[in-house]
Structure 1
Amino acid sequence: MSYDKYRDRLDHILSVARSAGGAGIEPEVCMLGSRSRDPEALRDALDREGLKLGALCLSLGWRLGKETDEEHAEADRVINYLRQFPGTVLTLVQHAGPDRSGLAERQANALANFNAVGRRAFEQGIVCAVHPNSPAGSIFRTRDDYGVLLEGLDPRYCGYAPDTGHIAKGGMDAGEIIRAYRPLIRHVHYKDMDKDGSWTALGQGCIDHKAITRYLRDTDYDGWIMVEEESAAAEADPDRVTAANGEYVTRALKPIIA
């Protein structure tokens, strides 16, 4: 999550991910640096490390009832870019606002934008999934919000990318939400949280990722599971934290799906 430090250091990010045992990455578009407009260069970098582009995250404001010209153009650019990476998921993350005022209107606007982008992605053969987050100004943060979001997405075009940490941060049980909306799930994020609400390393928090992994296995989920950490330790030393998370995945989670 150290965007400023790692904004144009993709080769380093790939090396760390591979060393941690990862099979792929999910960067935000801004993390690709110069390769954000050069898919061949990104493919070459991935191939050198034996990694896949599991997903690419498009994060925009989507505040109005339809996309702005700039948002529409950027979404189409990214959709066209992903045509060069068959099977890669396009995840959509809305920038959190400063507060939750005008909630119903803002939620309706966001859904209209998500479904519009999802439809255009679908027409190009790209799977699209919305990833809600949990800052205080997020408009899809609580159980009621999730009902609005996940019942408002057009399932023909746009699926759901649950993030276990953001679900827990919103006062929900991650396992329950994943079970409730399993038919919509196209992509998964694992992130752990202490009982006091602070982010922590995978396996050290209160979220039962082993049980969730077993459930996903038992329901034939065959997509990506991406691991994130937003703790203070991750901000200070992301390379070490990535290695530690990789060790936990190898030791505790991979045997479940082996």
Structure 2
Amino acid sequence: MTALPGSRLALNPIQWMATDDGWLDPSKAPETPELLSLVKKAGFDGVMAEVPAGWPVQQYAELVADTGLELAPGYAVCRSDGRDGKEAEVVENAARIARQHAELGLDVVGLGLGMGAAEARLAHPAQGTDPAAERLGAITDLVGRIAAAMVAEGVRPALHPHVGTWVETDSEGRAVLEAVPADQLGFLPDTGHLAWAGVDVHALISDYADRVPFVHVKDCRLSVAQEGRAGDWDYKKIVRAGLWAEPGRGELPLVEILSALGNDFGGWLMVEVDKPDIEDPYESAVASVTWMRATFGGGR
């Protein structure tokens, strides 16, 4: 076992929503009370915070607590490239999510860019397709505005580089992190998306370890990623070919990667399986938490 004794294990239960091509269909998931019960039954300590549409925040918080779970940080999506006129709307939405998190007792949240705006990168993923310094600068400025709005609500966002967005590569992630002060913006690494993009994940986490409040833990098959890059496959084709896997079932050296956090890391290790390798979502969750506990300890 590679101990991270202060860490806790959470699940973003997207395997219940995953489509064959790597997208999400929330209508596939059980109703919220049943879904939370399944996450708890599988063996996780916490679940990613996501207040259902139309629910009062307190009602959701009480249901999570009654299920025996803790709330782990959620996720905000910036659906703008900083130049499309949607900036004010995006900032206000981020502030709203921050207020929700503060009401839930959380002080951090993930922050990533939307995938829909970067069609060129969905067509040619994980390669930094169509880089543009001007666009990256506009995005960085917008992330700074979002961060200031969220911090004003008592919640610090953590940047989440993601394949298929305009912050995908090592250099793009570093550029944003270097431009926005650490007290305004943390770093949320995703082991799978960073590795797919060719990042030295251990090195990147090591360089910004003091800004990492939690981690998205994914496993993937780099052999599939490499085949897809060589064949110029699009995002969905690579996913369909078997890119993603539950932790321990893929090809990533997760023990080595996460050792960059240091033994005193006390944040959440949040499992995400974008497309389960195990067909049944519940069994996918069980396999994930079993391997994580056997490998990293933590939690209960």
- Note the alpha carbon deviations across 1:19-62, whole angstroms, 9 max, x for none: 12212122556xx2332xx1111111111112122111111312
Provide the secondary structure at the position in 2 that maps to 1:226: strand
221-230 vs 205-214, which deviates more?
Answer: 205-214
CA contact (8 A) 2:177 2:185 kept: no
Whether 1:45 and 2:90 are equivalent positions in the alignment is no
* CA shift in 2, pair 1:72/1:40, >3 Å: same
Q: Distance in 1 between matches of 2:130 and 2:30?
A: 35
- Give structure 1 regions of 4+ aligned residues with deviation exceeding 4 angstroms: none
Which residue in the other structure is 1:60 paired with? 78
- Note the alpha carbon deviations across 1:196-254, whole angstroms, 9 max, x for none: 13111201222222234444242x222111001123536x5322211110111122221
| Structure with the higher helix share, 1 or 2 | 1
Which residue in the other structure is 2:38 paired with? 16
Which residue in the other structure is 2:208 paired with? 181
Q: Distance in 1 between matches of 2:30 and 2:133?
A: 37
Q: Distance in 2 between matches of 1:101 and 1:8?
A: 39
Which residue in the other structure is 2:8 paired with? none
Q: Under a length normalisation based on structure 1, what TM-score does the superposition of the two structures give?
A: 0.86
* Gapped regions of structure 2 (runs ≥ 5): 1-13, 18-24, 121-128, 226-242
Which residue of 95, 98, 111 corresponds with 1:76? 95
CA contact (8 A) 2:202 2:258 kept: no
* Gapped regions of structure 1 (runs ≥ 5): none
Q: Distance in 2 between matches of 1:68 and 1:91?
A: 18
Q: Distance in 2 between matches of 1:248 and 1:164?
A: 16
> Which letter maps to 1:202?
P
Provide the secondary structure at the position in 1 that maps to 2:222: coil
CA contact (8 A) 2:82 2:139 kept: yes
Q: Distance in 2 between matches of 1:54 and 1:153?
A: 24
Q: Distance in 2 between matches of 1:43 and 1:72?
A: 24
| Pairing of 1:139-218 with structure 2 (within 5 A) | 139-196=166-223, 197=225, 198-218=243-263
CA contact (8 A) 1:64 1:110 kept: yes
Higher relative contact order (CA 8 A, sep 6+): 2
Provide the secondary structure at the position in 1 that maps to 2:167: coil
Which residue of 23, 30, 33 corresponds with 2:53? 33
CA contact (8 A) 1:134 1:170 kept: yes
Aligned length: 249
CA contact (8 A) 1:53 1:88 kept: no
Aligned residues with identical type, % of pairs: 22
Q: What's the offset of the Cα at 1:69?
A: 3.5
- Note the alpha carbon deviations across 1:63-117, whole angstroms, 9 max, x for none: 2257533223322221222221223421111112102446322222222222212
> Which letter maps to 2:197?
G
Q: Distance in 1 between matches of 2:176 and 2:267?
A: 21
Which residue in the other structure is 2:281 paired with? 238
CA contact (8 A) 1:153 1:159 kept: no
